[in-house]
Amino acid sequence: AQSVTQLGSHVSVSEGALVLLRCNYSSSVPPYLFWYVQYPNQGLQLLLKYTTGATLVKGINGFEAEFKKSETSFHLTKPSAHMSDAAEYFCAVSGGWGQNFVFGPGTRLSVLP
């Protein structure tokens, strides 16, 4: 079984500041890990994913995340926030293709001018 926790339901940063959104997971099998973003009144779109290989993965819009097995974490970062990054971000875990795909509760990111 898989589960995901996201620390902080709401994070506020100033424009140009570092963005750090936290995600911890549990999985009974080697996990596949994902970050999705949701803009208001829209569906979700993929930011980045980790399946195997390099533990630092880069995604769209300047975001990246690092898989740390020892810490069971997959935190999302961006060096410099932009106003357009304001959205809700979801971390997710899967046991593999076609398997149960579980989302965390989400973190709403606000970017202040």
Nearest distance from residue 70's CB to other proteins, in Å?
23
- 47: amino acid identity, one letter: L
102 touches other proteins by CB under 8 A: yes
Cβ proximity to other proteins: between 81 and 93 the closer is 93
Number of H helices and E strands in the chain, helices first, is 0, 12
Stretch that binds other proteins, among 19-27, 58-66, 72-80, 94-102 (CB under 8 A): 94-102
**What are the b/e assignments for 45-84, b being 16+ CB within 10 Å?**
eebbbbeeeeeebebeeebbbebeeeeebbbbebeebeee
Residue with tokens 């570092």: 18
Cβ nearer to other proteins, comparing 66 with 88? 88
Phi first, then psi, for residue 50 (nearest 5°) are -120, 130
Least Å distance between CB 16 and other proteins?
Answer: 28
C-beta of 113: minimal distance to other proteins in Å? 26
> Rounded to whole angstroms, how far apart are CA atoms 32 and 4?
12
Q: Least distance from C-beta 37 to other proteins, angstroms?
A: 11
Residues 40-79: x/- map of binding to other proteins (CB under 8 A)? Answer: --xxxxx--x-x----------------------------
